[in-house]
Amino acid sequence: MKTIGLIGGMSWESSAVYYKLINQKVRELLGSTHSAKSLMYSVEFKEIEQLQHAGNWEKLTEIMIDAAQKVEKGGADLLVICTNTMHKMAAEMAEKISIPILHIVDATAEKIKEADLKKIGLLGTNFTMTHDFYKGKLEKDHGFEVIVPNEKDRQIIHKIIYQELTLGKIKESSRKKYQAIIEKLQNEGAEGVILGCTEIPLLIKQKDSPIPVFDTTKIHAEKAVELALDIQ
């Protein structure tokens, strides 16, 4: 079994879910008392959040490279960044470490292809929905047509993530807002929707959506286990 390295704390609410999902998957596959070999470096999310909203991606890249190097030195065989947004600097991180990074977009795209969908909606932080590192990768590397919500809806999604979900607050009123936005995406032709923030699955489940949802947290965590156990 390979050791899974995790960069967490963005937020710790979803990082805790990663840890649980990874160990559940190992037990499902191996049975008995088996669990994952893993190590996590957790950042201070307030610092990350402030730098994100200040647009200081250069400093954020330095922080993420430092975290990745610490995880590698700790003995990890592969790296999982436990957040969608911070994949923005995945390429720069990959240049500074020798272990592979399991990119959340690639893992998610694999599942969408298995479902044979072509036109997909994307929910996430405003950074994820508007910056090219995520939407562009889905389009250029995987050939999907990606639909994002309008500006007003993007602000609703973003605000709920940072002011509620990262703090562990789950509100029915917010679930209904997300559901209304998903329905709009469906009306625009989306065949499925990516929950492109690792906190969104805390709020939205498949039962809350009229179209297939792709839970990036679950997909990413379970793919990491497959790689750690060398399952093709």
What integer pLDDT is reported at residue 7 of this predicted model? 98
The model's pLDDT over 184-211, given as tens digits with 9 standing for 90+, comes to 999 999 999 999 999 999 999 999 999 9
Domain boundaries in the chain? 4-103+219-228, 105-215
Catalytic residue among 61, 83, 125, 166: 83
Is the domain spanning 105-215 CATH 3.40.50.2000? The answer is no
The model's pLDDT over 64-113, given as tens digits with 9 standing for 90+, comes to 999 999 999 999 999 999 999 999 999 999 999 999 999 999 999 999 99
Q: Catalytic annotation on 83?
A: yes
Q: Is the pLDDT of residue 214 over 90?
A: yes
What integer pLDDT is reported at residue 215 of this predicted model? 98
Catalytic residue among 61, 128, 197, 216: 197
Mind giving me the DSSP string for 68-136?
HHHHHHTT-SEEEES-SGGGGGHHHHHHH-SSPB--HHHHHHHHHHHTT--EEEEES-HHHHHSHHHHH
Q: Is the pLDDT of residue 232 over 80?
A: no
Q: Catalytic annotation on 3?
A: no
Q: Rounded distance, CA 221 to CA 223, Å? A: 6
Q: Rounded distance, CA 175 to CA 173, Å? A: 5
CATH topology of domain 4-103+219-228: Rossmann fold (3.40.50)
